[in-house]
Amino acid sequence: MQLSIIIVNYNSKLLLEQCLISVKKAMTGIDTEIIVVDNNSADGSKEYLPLKFDYVKFIFNAENMGFAKACNRGFKSSSGKYILFLNPDTILTETCLMDCISFFETHPDAGAVGVRMHDIRRRYLKESKRGVPTPATSFYKLFGLASLFPESRTFAKYYQGHLPENVNNLVEVLSGAFMMIRREVFEKINGFDEDFFMYGEDIDLSIRISQSGYKNYYLGKITVTHLKGGSTTYDYKHVKDFYGAMKLFVKKHYSKKPLWFVFLLYAGINIRKMLATAGLIFHRQDTIRHIIVYSPRSS
């Protein structure tokens, strides 16, 4: 088996359907298996998808075990030389899989590769390539310096703004929405850290790939569509999971820093969480106001 594609699904039935259609076209000429791990979806995925895609292996979890655990479970059922972790809200081009594999074959130092992602309006998504979120890098992003100096090697390091989006480059962090990795590397670093429920696990994995002696490559000449946010709901649970992952990342990678330093990091995360939670309230009020103003009136 040359390639195993692992997709974690949670209430993304229709998005996953479109994703699998694009995957089928892209896997032409490649010995490929597709494994979908469903985290106890309640949108009819279990009844609908297996009937339409009989060549796909489905694993149905009895509960939502999170992204990292589901990916690891899918990996245990795979046999490919290369493993692609793919979001259900992605659409592949017909040559992207072969192009990624060809890059691996000519770059033995490559542990993992990611690609240039754009949204449905063909706007480039900056999270396609990222730097490690060090305290300084995070500070520049959170306080707007990255936006003011989008191509700065220092201030825009979080999104590697100094690197052209259409050029292949070494990067520190790849996106979990499309991450292809050598099987031997994934086994060497013991897969995703299952302490991460959702968010942050791709950053942690990218760091450990580099620490294992391999490199992360961003392939700017290969493009896929990512319907950003299509498989998630922006609500309080999203905010809780996101900032919880940030705290876990700090605990894992910065716990040996001075106590005052770690305290400041946690304080910053808590402040951002409170602002994000407040933003949910205003967002909800705007939605209600929109419904009241634009809802059809009876004659």
pLDDT at position 184 over 90: yes
The reply to whether 118 and 214 lie within a common domain is yes
Average pLDDT, the chain: 86
Write the CATH number for 109.
3.90.550.10
The burial of 10, by beta-carbon neighbours within 10 Å (0-12 exposed, 13-18 middle, 19 or more buried), is given as buried
Can you give the C-alpha Rg of the chain in angstroms?
A: 20
The reply to whether 215 and 246 lie within a common domain is no
Label the pairing between strands 3-9 and 32-38: parallel
Range with lowest mean pLDDT among 14-18, 138-142, 161-165, 213-217: 138-142
The reply to whether 245 and 105 lie within a common domain is no
pLDDT at position 295 over 60: no
Neighbours of 234 (CB within 10 A): 13
User: How many Cα neighbours within 13 Å face the side chain of 58?
Assistant: 23
Supply the pLDDT for residue 200.
Answer: 79
The reply to whether 61 and 200 lie within a common domain is yes
If pLDDT is split at 50, 70 and 90, which confidence band does 291 have? very low
Cα–chain center distance at 103: 21
pLDDT at position 294 over 50: no
**pLDDT, tens digit (0-9, with 9 covering 90-100), for 68-89:** 999 999 999 999 999 999 999 9
The reply to whether 203 and 94 lie within a common domain is yes
Cα distance between residue 26 and residue 13, in whole Å:
20
**pLDDT, tens digit (0-9, with 9 covering 90-100), for 21-40:** 999 999 999 999 999 999 99
The reply to whether 221 and 243 lie within a common domain is no
The whole-number average pLDDT for the span 230-239 is: 59
- Last residue of one domain, picked from the residues 226, 249, 270: 226
The percent of residues above 90 in pLDDT, for the chain, comes to: 63
**pLDDT, tens digit (0-9, with 9 covering 90-100), for 169-178:** 999 999 999 9
The reply to whether 100 and 240 lie within a common domain is no
In a domain, 286, yes or no: yes
Cα distance between residue 77 and residue 57, in whole Å:
9
- Which sign does the torsion angle of CA 230, 235, 239, 244 carry? negative
The reply to whether 192 and 74 lie within a common domain is yes
Cα distance between residue 57 and residue 7, in whole Å:
10
pLDDT at position 288 over 50: no
Check if the beta carbon of residue 140 is closer than 8 Å to that of residue 154: yes
pLDDT at position 293 over 90: no
Supply the pLDDT for residue 290.
Answer: 37
In a domain, 140, yes or no: no
In a domain, 276, yes or no: yes
Enclosing domain of residue 79: 3-124+165-226
Cα end-to-end distance, the chain, whole Å: 63
Range with lowest mean pLDDT among 15-19, 48-52, 71-75, 285-289: 285-289
Check if the beta carbon of residue 186 is closer than 8 Å to that of residue 201: no
The whole-number average pLDDT for the span 128-156 is: 84
Kindly report the length of the chain: 299
The whole-number average pLDDT for the span 243-259 is: 69
Range with lowest mean pLDDT among 98-107, 181-190, 232-241: 232-241
In a domain, 95, yes or no: yes
Residue (of 42, 36, 47, 43) closest to 9 by Cα position: 36
Supply the pLDDT for residue 244.
Answer: 64
